[in-house]
């Protein structure tokens, strides 16, 4: 499985998401020394949260997992707690933030949809934007 380097870097740098991660069977991960893989039900360490962190695994959430992070924090969306509402706010964010900020930075390249969803989640949950190298806090208006 090929995964975009920028997306992996975004995930590695997202400390909040990495700390909150509870490993589950099927989660997409990247080990510091190997390729992208999925957590297998046959992996004896599947239920050991500390193992994955100590061994240098990075969680690479898929779109459904990113959307679920937003649903769990539905107060961000003023009580809207469905995927259609999330899509609406995603579109607003694209128009406001992506085209206003990221387009001037030649951002993103590669697996654009994963990167956009990840950037949206980081913005909505942690008020952070991606510079191309790291996450920085953004003043929310």
Mean residue pLDDT across the chain: 81
Average pLDDT over residues 27-39: 88
Query: Residue 103 pLDDT > 60, yes or no?
Result: no
- Stronger pLDDT, 1 or 57, i.e. the higher one: 57
| DSSP H helical ranges for 31-110 | 49-54, 63-72, 83-93
Nearest to 97 by CA among 139, 134, 68: 139
Model confidence at 20, in pLDDT bands (50, 70, 90)? very high
Q: Which residue has the tokens 């459904």?
A: 64
Contacts with 65 (C-beta within 8 Å, 6 or more apart), sequence order: 27
H/E segment holding residue 19 = helix 15-20
Query: Residue 78 pLDDT > 60, yes or no?
Result: no
Does this model's pTM top 0.75?
Answer: yes
Average pLDDT over residues 80-93: 81
Nearest to 10 by CA among 55, 56, 58, 69: 58
- CB neighbours of residue 141 within 10 Å: 4
Most confidently predicted of 30-44, 98-112, 117-131: 117-131
Model confidence at 140, in pLDDT bands (50, 70, 90)? low
> What percentage of the chain exceeds 70 in pLDDT?
77
**Can you read off the two tokens belonging to residue 52?**
């994955």
> What percentage of the chain exceeds 90 in pLDDT?
32
**What's residue 21's pLDDT?**
92
């Amino acid at each position: 499985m090929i995964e975009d380097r920028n997306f992996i870097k975004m995930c590695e740098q997202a400390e909040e998401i990495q700390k909150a991660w509870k490993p589950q069977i099927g989660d997409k991960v990247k080990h510091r020394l190997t390729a992208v893989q999925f957590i297998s039900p046959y992996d004896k360490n599947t239920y050991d949260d500390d193992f994955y962190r100590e061994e240098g695994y990075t969680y690479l959430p898929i779109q459904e997992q990113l959307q679920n992070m937003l649903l769990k924090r539905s107060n961000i969306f003023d009580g809207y707690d469905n995927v259609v509402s999330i899509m609406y706010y995603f579109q607003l964010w694209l128009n406001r933030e992506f085209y206003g900020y990221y387009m001037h930075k030649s951002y993103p390249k590669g697996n654009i949809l994963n990167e956009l969803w990840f950037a949206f989640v980081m913005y909505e949950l942690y008020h952070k934007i991606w510079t191309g190298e790291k996450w920085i806090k953004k003043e929310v208006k």
